[in-house]
Amino acid sequence: MTAISDAALDSGIRGASPSAGSPEFEPIGVTARYPPPSAGIDPDQSKGWITRLMPVIRTHGGLLTAGLVTGIIGLAVQVAVPAAAQKAVDSAASGDRQTLWITTVVIIGLGAARLVFGGANRYLLFKLGWNVETDMRAIMYEHLTKLSFSYYDRTQSGQVISRANSDIRSVQLLLSFGPIISVSVLSFVLAFGYMIYVHPLLALVALAPLPGVYWFGVRFRDQVFPLSWVSQARMADLATIVDENVSGTRVVKSFAAEERQIALLGRSAQRIQWANTRIVDSRSRWNPLIESLPRLGTAMVLLYGGWLAIQGEVSVGTLLAFSAYVIMLQLPFRMAGFVLMQGQRASAAAQRIYEILDEVPEIADSPGAVDIAHPHGRVDFQDVRFGYNPETPVLDGFSLCIEPGERVALVGRTGSGKSTVARLLDRFYDADGGSVLIDGLDVRDVTLRSLRHTVGLVLDEPFLFSASLHDNIAYGRPGAARSEVVAAARAAQAHIFIQELPDGYDTVVGERGYTLSGGQRQRIAIARTLLANPKVLILDDATSAIDVTVEEAIHQALQVLMADRTTIIIAHRLSTISLAERVVMLADGRVANMGSHAELLATDPRYVEILARYGNGGDDGGPPAAGNGAPGENRP
């Protein structure tokens, strides 16, 4: 395999560069298929969860208003049916056939209207619930993309997945059913008003058991809320275990740890079972009481109303209407158990969601941040101090200046801070002290989008998406032509193996790219970065998993590609270090020595020792592992 020619580069990757005289920073432009949410969650944490959600709900005010109006009309029609039936029964008893026929037609019309308005009410309110759920997912995901790496270092992925899925669904269910059940309260008001109008004492008899329903409902709510919180938190723990076992299935199988992981999952499932069983116990204790007490009212109405009918004080039609209205009085109370349980679950879910949305990103554009419009590629570290744990600094007084177009290799023992230098330059983290400059601008004073457009990073553990190879290479430039993608793949020595795949560039790789070898993934990652055409290129052990023969061909291509861009090479292989014009050796978080490879080899025994000991690769410790605060592997 040979390196691609300058002409191919000019027509391919370099062809992606802006024309002369135009700003070199051009953010990725993707036309959104769906509009973003018009509003976000109220940031005032002192407000109740539903109040904080109101800005999102108000953006769908038309659906809410239409749903409530149709619901009110439908319930008004429903309340009118027993009154019409009363008239019909009394007319039949008195032999008034004309009135009987009229009221019968009226009842049929009321039934048809109830069908139309009731159906419209459910459709509109369910659509409202789904729209709010969609907005919440978009708001959640957008916020997750803004959160800093430090947040993901301490947060389990399963917790995030659970809150972005099951917790949002719990809120959606309440928003769909809550208004429907709330509107049913109107049927209670209308029905009770009519009953008071017809016979006040009989109406009070029907209402007598209902205060007990309220008392039982409060007790039920107080028990269910903490249990709902525990249940959903443990569901998130279970999601974490499943996510880790799916992502780390190769590790699990390589250690024959399937039974141990199954036992771990079983214990987590039992913890969820305990919480859910307690919720079921509460439901079985309180729901029958909440639903049965109103039926006692029915029995009392039939007993007292029947006696009144025998005495001739009320008609049979009136007794029939009262029986129907008692059912309407019961409906809100019969649904109270569901509303209370779902309301407490939604409340717990919303508070878990808000825990993420209230998280303030540590890395964000500062007020007045500017774009790097015409990057030259000068990089300057001035007395930088940084540690993933404050008490354990990784860099301590690190200073280094890299001129535009210069190629510098960073070499050092494990934990010396080599990869940390790359993370600070791309502003994955902010330095605790000192300054990181690019073209004389502090990275904290430039926009993140232009900074990361200017600085391209190729990691030693590349991540590929479960998409086609074309889409993976074009990830940084979704609109890139196939010819540009092919040119980048040729430069990364990936074109030949891609052509040998069944669908070529349209081949869909498995999750994380595990259907490819480690070296193939690294080549795709290199192609992806080269296509983005950054002015500053960081290679963090980017060829550690690549065959020596293939690596040599990639190095030949990189020699051409690095000609006019600043390149930072983090490596231990001598072949990779040879790409650099200057070698910088790190020790104790600062520059210990620098010079050409030959100079360090001849004058610094530590450099010789590093090449001998770490020649097969290594890392620098990286940030704390997620969720436990302990040092872990390098993280992208």
Mean pLDDT of 561-566: 76
Q: Which helix (H) or strand (E) holds 113?
A: helix 97-146
Query: What integer pLDDT is reported at residue 442 of this predicted model?
Result: 92
Per-residue pLDDT band at 425 (split at 50, 70, 90): very high
Contact between 356 and 349 (Cβ < 8 Å):
no
Mean pLDDT of 166-195: 78
Query: What integer pLDDT is reported at residue 553 of this predicted model?
Result: 66
Contact between 251 and 261 (Cβ < 8 Å):
no
Of 332 and 30, the structure prediction assigns the larger pLDDT to 332
**Cβ-proximal residues to 267 (8 Å cutoff; 6+ apart), any chain:** none
Contact between 438 and 535 (Cβ < 8 Å):
no
**Cβ-proximal residues to 321 (8 Å cutoff; 6+ apart), any chain:** 82, 83, 85, 86, 194, 198
Of 135, 151, 353, nearest to 233 by C-alpha is 353
Q: How far apart are CA 498 and CA 478, in angstroms?
A: 19
For tokens 């920073």, the residue is 25
Query: What integer pLDDT is reported at residue 437 of this predicted model?
Result: 93
Neighbours of 112 (CB within 10 A): 11
Q: How far apart are CA 133 and CA 349, in angstroms?
A: 13
Pick from 103-117, 208-222, 506-520: least confident: 208-222
Which residues partner with 582 through β-bridges? Answer: 408
Mean pLDDT of 76-105: 81
Per-residue pLDDT band at 380 (split at 50, 70, 90): very high
Contact between 463 and 512 (Cβ < 8 Å):
yes
Q: Which domains does the chain have, with CATH numbers?
A: 6-25+375-613 (3.40.50.300), 49-357 (1.20.1560.10)
For tokens 């002015």, the residue is 535
**Cβ-proximal residues to 443 (8 Å cutoff; 6+ apart), any chain:** 424, 425, 427, 436, 437, 451
Q: At what angle do helices 336-357 and 258-310 cross, to 10 degrees?
A: 140
Mean pLDDT of 412-439: 88
Mean pLDDT of 86-93: 79
**Cβ-proximal residues to 446 (8 Å cutoff; 6+ apart), any chain:** 369, 370, 371, 372, 438
Range picked from 16-25, 190-199, 458-467, 469-478 for highest mean pLDDT: 469-478
**Beta strand residue intervals within 439-507, DSSP E:** 441-442, 455-458
Q: Which two tokens stand for residue 115?
A: 């069908």
Query: What integer pLDDT is reported at residue 443 of this predicted model?
Result: 92
Contact between 397 and 589 (Cβ < 8 Å):
yes
Mean pLDDT of 61-88: 84
Q: How far apart are CA 540 and CA 289, in angstroms?
A: 66
Q: 211-257: per-residue pLDDT in tens?
A: 777 677 777 767 776 777 677 677 777 777 777 676 666 677 666 77
Which residues partner with 39 through β-bridges? Answer: none
Q: How far apart are CA 540 and CA 613, in angstroms?
A: 18
Q: How far apart are CA 327 and CA 323, in angstroms?
A: 7
Average pLDDT, the chain: 78
Mean pLDDT of 482-502: 88
Q: How far apart are CA 622 and CA 428, in angstroms?
A: 12
Per-residue exposure over 113-128, b if at least 16 CB sit within 10 Å of its own CB, e if not: bbeebbebbbebbbeb
Q: How far apart are CA 386 and CA 36, in angstroms?
A: 37
Mean pLDDT of 391-403: 89
In a 3-state reduction of DSSP, which class is residue 537?
Answer: strand
Per-residue pLDDT band at 400 (split at 50, 70, 90): very high
Query: What integer pLDDT is reported at residue 30 of this predicted model?
Result: 54
Query: What integer pLDDT is reported at residue 18 of this predicted model?
Result: 37
Of 43, 77, 76, 41, nearest to 56 by C-alpha is 41
CA 576 to chain centre: 38
Per-residue pLDDT band at 1 (split at 50, 70, 90): very low
Pick from 18-22, 293-297, 536-540, 615-619: least confident: 18-22
Query: What integer pLDDT is reported at residue 3 of this predicted model?
Result: 37
Start-to-end CA distance of the chain, whole Å, equals 30
Laid out side by side, the sheet with 566-570 consists of 455-458, 536-540, 566-570, 407-412, 582-587, 590-595
Q: Which two tokens stand for residue 200?
A: 């006040």
Q: At what angle do helices 518-532 and 548-561 cross, to 10 degrees?
A: 10
Query: What integer pLDDT is reported at residue 626 of this predicted model?
Result: 39
Is the pLDDT confidence value at 167 over 90?
Answer: no
Mean pLDDT of 466-492: 87
Q: What is the pTM of this model?
A: 0.67
Mean pLDDT of 277-300: 76
Percent of the chain with pLDDT over 90: 6
Is the pLDDT confidence value at 511 over 90?
Answer: no
Query: What integer pLDDT is reported at residue 627 of this predicted model?
Result: 38
Q: How far apart are CA 585 and CA 302, in angstroms?
A: 94
Q: Which amino acid is at 498?
A: I
Range picked from 9-18, 147-156, 461-470 for highest mean pLDDT: 461-470
Q: Which amino acid is at 239?
A: A
Alpha helices in 358-399 (DSSP H): none
